[in-house]
Structures are given as structure tokens and as C-alpha cells.
Amino acid sequence: MNTKKNVLQFPPLDEETSLRPKIVTTEKDVDAITGQINLSIPQSTSASFAARVTTGSISVTDLVLNDQYVTPTIVTGTLGTGSGSIDLQIITGNIRVTGE
């Protein structure tokens, strides 16, 4: 059994960060203080998903999010079978996640 996990590496976050990972069977946390996080992932992504803002908005489009819990500041759920993990957090700003 292969237990090796793929790891995504992202540049340091700045005022606006756009992420397009090539590997999606992974665990990834992205945290920021202010600005915007834009994440584009394949619609076939399999991961538990959580996005949190203190002040701002969260948008998830073109993805099927199962078992979802949605408030103005939190969105959680499961993409596919949930084999990986995506955790996005920002204090003041917006999170936009798009399936492609």
C-alpha cells in the first residue's frame, strides 16, 4: 500500500493570491491576514473542504460540495470522497474557489 502524499507548494500570500494546483490529491492549508484567495481546482478533486473569513465573503462555484454547511463566514463540506484536505482562511478579505 502506498501511503505517500502529494504536497502542493504555493508562493507566499500577498494582496491577491491566485492558486492553480497541478496535484489535487493532497492536504493543503492556506492562511492570510488581508487580501483575496482565488483557488481554481479540477471538478474531480477529492478533499474535505473548509473556507473561513472573519470579514469578507466566500464564493464556491462549479464544484459539487457534499454535506455542506454554509454561513456568511464559513463554508465546509466534502469534494468527491474527501480523500485530501483543503483549508482556506483569511481574516479580512474574500475567498473564491472555482471548479474547472
CA distance 27 to 17: 18
pTM: 0.73
pLDDT digits (tens, 9 = 90+) for 58-95: 999 999 999 999 999 999 999 999 988 888 998 899 99
DSSP string, 17-56: EEE--S--SBEEEEEEEEEEEEEEE-TT--EEEEEEEEEE
pLDDT digits (tens, 9 = 90+) for 28-51: 667 677 888 888 888 988 899 999
Q: Which of 67, 65, 62 is nearest to 99 (CA)?
A: 62
